[in-house]
Chains A and B, each alone.
Chain A
Amino acid sequence: MSRKGWLRVAWAALALLTSACIENAPLDIFKPKGPFAEQINDLFWPVFWVAVVIFVLVEGGILFITVVFKDRGGKEAKQIHGNTKLEIMWTVVPALILASIAVPTFRAVFDLTECGADAMPVDIIAHQWWFEYRYPNEDIVTANELVMPAGVEVCARMTSGDVLHNYWIPALNGKRYIVPGQQTVLRLQADEPGYFVGQCAEFCGLSHSLMRARAIARSQDEFDAWVAQQKTPALEPAEGSPAAAGKEEFLAGQCVQCHNITGVNEVGFDQFYGPDLTHFAGRTTFAGSKFETSAENLKTWLANPPIEKPGSFMPNLGLTEEQMDRLIAYLESLE
């Protein structure tokens, strides 16, 4: 291929690379929406550019060498054994570059580890394959979505009910492991109200890839309203409505073994349990945030949970169409 041809290939490759970024990737780590993720982002980019410079020097150097020093006949090579000055230089200079990177790095580690004194505590308990949220000060329990006030630091105190998991909302901070029998801590804060997507990234079994997380930041007023509503017991469905039939269905079946609905069915924390359903309808996702809340998705789920989430602890209950419709009506009524 001619030199022009190679140039065209190079431009195409460059164009391809710079277009590499996926538009609006929900878990993009380069779109920080809170102070902690911003601090991390600010650390990364300088190092990245230093790496790019070294990349260009080394790869460019290799390219240069392969073109210029190709054997084209003629004299043999000079049998150089080394160059002490040069070798010392390329030992010391990288060491200095790394040392300069090290200082801000470690400062950030210490900054980002301990929760602030005024942080709002939220206990996150990870289960196979969903996240449970308990607000100790507000005394509420919810699942799948971490609702938080915007502009306020949340101190997530985390433990696992079974295996290792981790918690990751890229827009708000890096990940932190969730370890059974231990407590780990993660600082989370969103600057503005918004809807943030996350994921469990620590391999945790069959449905690891389906254990997703959501964080919703609301203005302080909206958050307070949400808390007030969460504290109320479950809404009683209207007499004779499909939702009421659904409540009967719920109480008659196996659901009561695992699902707490405050005022309707109590399931303690000292036994195996599933997500609290008291205010189910207010949540935008369910089943470990695999599904968006909708009647259609609920039907898919209720029809056969183990197909939707392999290994699911919720079994196939063998529900009929009518049973599912009634249950869905009830669930949708639980605002």
Chain B
Amino acid sequence: MTATATRPSSTIFRRPKSTEGFWGWVTTVDHKKIGILYGYAAFFFFIIGGIEALILRIQLSAPDNTFITAGEYNALFTMHGTTMIFLFVMPMSAAFMNYLLPLMIGARDVAFPRMNALSWWIFVFGGIFLYSTYLFSSPEPPVGLTTIAGNLDPSELGWLARGPDGGWFCYQPNCGPFYTPGHAMDFWALGLQILGLASLISSINFIVTVFNMRARGMRLLRMPVFVWMSMVVAFLLLFSLPIIAIALFMVVFDRQFGSLFFAAQAGGDPILWQHLFWLFGHPEVYILILPAMGIVSEVLPVFSRKPLFGYAAIVFAGAAIAFLGFGVWAHHMFSSGITPVAQAAFGISTMTIAVPTGVKIFNWMGTMWMGKIRFKTPMLFAIGFLAMFTIGGLSGVTHSIVPSDWQQTDTYYIVAHFHYVLFGGSIFGIFAGLYYWFPKFTGRVMSERLGKVHFWLQFIGFNLTFAPMHWLGLQGMIRRTWQYPEEAGYGPWNMVVSAGAFIIAISIAVFIYNWVVSKRRGAPSGLDPWDARTVEWTIPNPTPEYNFAKVPVIHSLDDFWHRKYDEDDDGRAVRREDADETIRTLEEEGRNPATPIHLPAPSYFPVMMAAGVPTIFYGFIFHTSIAGKALIVIGALLSISALIGWGMEPLEEPAEHH
């Protein structure tokens, strides 16, 4: 007997019934489907961001190159950074959190399923809104003092140059109305606003889910590290997003309504923007890395076949990093003219944050030490994470030497640093997770052979791309530079870097092929393909719609492992005789719940409400026209009516929820 979604009675108009097919996906409130939607959307943007990077690298492969124009270059690097951060890494982390958090704490869904769907729809519409800049904007030259306009050669007016071109960091006043006129930067600012809203809603959902919906016995210090890191990230989002929201509104108000927040000639302070941006921006980088650290903390123990070394230390180190992360923001501003006292203070706090980071690295190594390591693809990427993130962390420590940072900042040395932690760290961690949990999503395993090809190609390509950037930067190659001169001597290494980038691209193609083929024809995984430790592996693969046929009761950290293994006198794991029987029973019971299970029903209101948001913001951008004003009204009405309908619709029959 299988559980089915309920078909509740009518509300304002007929509620969607099906959880299958296209409309099933559009109206889904199932955390697993939403996780999958996040994953595919994020990966799509990864490809786009990657193509942007490849174009940049072609331009930079030779000195004095003119493959693309300066305007196109500026738009491309702005969009590359914005896309990778806000449209790839963050939503991909959300994909994992969505799919896995309830499974890891023994719940059947998140606290607010419809809000969950709302988050995804707002994210997707936000991404589309941001990229629609290429449809609605045109490059305009800067204006300059006394309204003398700069001059753009027609070659600068290409389609690619229509994008926002003030950098993902939008430093003022360059990114303001005077020096970057036109709509593109407004699409950027409001697009980010939309995306921030999606993340904020998600974070509220995850916090309540983790606090309130744990299965019996799932005490906080028995939760998997991935859950802990997700919760810490949710708090980081909760407290950092409002600051960037204010800052972005200030930018939009300056650009659209004539306010003077960052107008230097009128007494506005460009450095204020930097403070506000980095108050968000620094916690943001921990938002980007902590989920990957959580994934790696899951993968390393399983494939070393021993527990995570120093679980409590890793959890507290993660929380410490997040807390301290709010106190280091001005290390992005060491050369901006802040006082020496401020520079010293932020230098100290930056050095301090290296301590919990080091603790984690050593504890991960301790996990593998004296383990029985199986080098499956997830493990390769997890070890790759460890090796690459360490390099990024070490270059980060050199940045905290404040006067030395005056030489390092705004050079390719910094680009090397953050790509080592974000690509070598976050992205390697993400791939570890994708290979590791693929059986949960699909019931199959990915090809090991192709996985290894992907890993080694990506590892080699990644290091070829980003290692040379260290010395390119220390020998003076600046950031955000469309061209560099022949005399500087950067040509040969830049060619190596560009070649590496294409090797990365090939490795990603291998991954995509592996994913598609394995989804169709991969070997069935069974319930426990990796001999894992945590509770999400106690249910059949692919995960049934209701997750748990019977909500588990948890007795310890790594509860599943302890059901399969005892320890001998030496402390070594000994597989219990009834382990295989346990697994068979779990499979059998998992597919056949004893009682019918009511799931939250699908709903139109999340997508409807989400659609109102970009509508309002399109109206903001074109607010001087009638159409723009109308859009604001239409969008507001759409969202408000969706909200009212939502409020009156029960979550499921018969229990009623907001």
Contact = CB atoms under 8 A, between A and B. Distances in A.
Given A176-B335, A181-B270, A310-B69, A20 B264 contact: no
Interface in B360-383: 361-363, 365-366, 368-375, 383
A300 interface: no
B20 interface: no
B361 A58 contact: yes
Interface in A22-45: 22-30, 37, 39-40, 43-44
Contacts of A21: 471, 475
Interface residues of A, number: 102
Interface string A194-222: 00000111111111111000000000000
Given A112-B403, A207-B70, A305-B151, A201 B340 contact: no
B271 A182 contact: yes
B658 interface: no
Interface in B474-509: 474-484, 487-490, 493
Interface in A231-256: none
A20 B151 contact: no
A225 interface: no
Given A65-B368, A109-B347, A109-B402, A28 B476 contact: yes
Nearest to A174: B406
A177 B337 contact: yes
A304 interface: yes
Given A47-B404, A71-B373, A102 B307 contact: no
Nearest to A84: B310
B305 A77 contact: yes
B153 A163 contact: no
A128 B144 contact: yes
Contact of B571 (A47, A78, A162, A311): A78
Nearest to A271: B146
Interface string B251-270: 00000000000001101111
Nearest to A114: B340
A174 B405 contact: yes
A227 interface: no
B311 interface: yes
Interface residues of B, number: 115
Contacts of B344: 106, 109-110
A87 B310 contact: yes
A272 B351 CA distance: 45
A205 B383 contact: no
A108 interface: yes
A219 B476 CA distance: 27
A294 interface: no
A87 B373 CA distance: 22
Given A65-B369, A163-B174, A206-B142, 16 more contacts: A28-B474, A28-B475, A29-B476, A40-B406, A51-B394, A66-B375, A90-B358, A91-B355, A109-B343, A163-B171, A174-B409, A201-B478, A202-B171, A307-B153, A310-B152, A313-B151
7 contacts: A51-B397, A71-B374, A77-B573, A177-B336, A181-B269, A182-B337, A313-B148
Interface of B: 69-71, 74, 141-142, 144-146, 148-153, 155-156, 167, 171-174, 179-180, 264-265, 267-271, 304-307, 309-313, 335-337, 340, 343-344, 347-348, 351-352, 354-355, 358-359, 361-363, 365-366, 368-375, 383, 386-387, 390-391, 394-395, 397-398, 400-411, 468, 471-472, 474-484, 487-490, 493, 565, 567, 570-575
Interface of A: 20-30, 37, 39-40, 43-44, 47-48, 51, 54-55, 58-59, 61-62, 65-66, 69-71, 74-83, 86-87, 90-91, 94-95, 98-99, 101-102, 105-106, 108-110, 112-113, 128, 160-164, 166, 168, 170, 173-177, 179-182, 184-185, 199-210, 271-272, 304-307, 310-316
